[in-house]
Amino acid sequence: MLALDAIAYSNRWRPRHPGEKALLALGLLGAAVALPPWPGALLTGSTAMVLLLGPAGVTLRQVWQAVRVPLGFVLTGSVPLLVAVGGSPWLAWEPSGIPRAAELAGRAMAALLCLLLFATTTPLADSLPRLTRIGVPPAITEVASLIYRMVFLLLDSARAVREAQAGRLGFRTWATTYRAVAGQGGAIFVRAFDRARRLEEGLALRGYSGSLTVQVEYQAVSRRFIAATVGLLAAIVTVTLMARVVMV
């Protein structure tokens, strides 16, 4: 199981309805994107972080493990705004790019934390079957669930092949490492096609007619949670707009 999935199954908000968490997380995400980065990004990002560490019960270490790779992309994308290209000298420091880089990084980090608020509290197995109720075609949800399942199978295959190669000293030198990696890619490619073929045959033998019926665990929608979410989003929008008026 991936680390993000393990967090999604073990947090305190796991029993809550996915729609509640989607309204909260996507509402914060919309606010982070639509509102001015200052102080909108700060408010939405801080709110998402507080909810993750507080009511949701996700630890700071788990948040860092989930955010560290995307954070690298955020910082890398902000760096080009700090340099000017094409002048004299050809590559020079651009002081005026600091505010834009800060706004970009702040908005991106806020949006990332809002997405993590949903991803770390809601397993994909809870949200995918419910998407058909809001109009998503069943074929899309089924393909997504099959791909999600195949990811774990491919990871298991890659781990097994790598362990077998390591047991045969396949990573002893650079030359053997390149050869082992190439062989690993070929073996995983063949196994993926074989598993896909067997999956297709299994569905056909079970009378697959275009939709997979999955029993979804009943989860009641909390009206108090919905009301609190709407009030929180309204408060963030109000405070941001008032702060912008005061700053102007």
* E strand or H helix at 93: strand 91-93
Taking only the tens of pLDDT, the chain with its 248 residues reads 577 777 888 888 888 888 888 889 999 999 888 888 888 888 898 899 999 888 888 888 888 888 888 888 888 888 888 877 776 777 777 777 788 888 888 888 888 889 888 888 888 877 877 777 777 777 787 777 777 777 777 777 778 878 887 777 777 778 778 788 887 777 788 877 787 788 778 877 777 666 666 666 777 788 898 999 999 899 888 888 888 777 66
Q: What is the pLDDT of residue 227?
A: 92
Assigned token pair, 4: 């993000």
Query: Does residue 146 come out as left (phi exceeding 0), alpha (psi in the -120 to 50 range) or beta?
Result: alpha
Q: Is the peptide bond before 36 cis (omega within 30 degrees of 0)?
A: no
Q: Which amino acid is at 238?
A: T
Q: Which residue has the tokens 């706004």?
A: 103
Residues whose CB is less than 8 angstroms from the CB of residue 103 and which lie 6 or more positions away in sequence, other chains included: 37, 38, 41
End-to-end CA distance of the chain: 50
DSSP of 129-196, one letter per residue?
Answer: GGGGGGT--HHHHHHHHHHHHHHHHHHHHHHHHHHHHHHTTTTSSHHHHHHHHHHHHHHHHHHHHHHH
3-state secondary structure of 84: strand
Domain-by-domain residue ranges, the chain? 3-122+218-247, 130-205
Dmax (CA) of the chain: 70
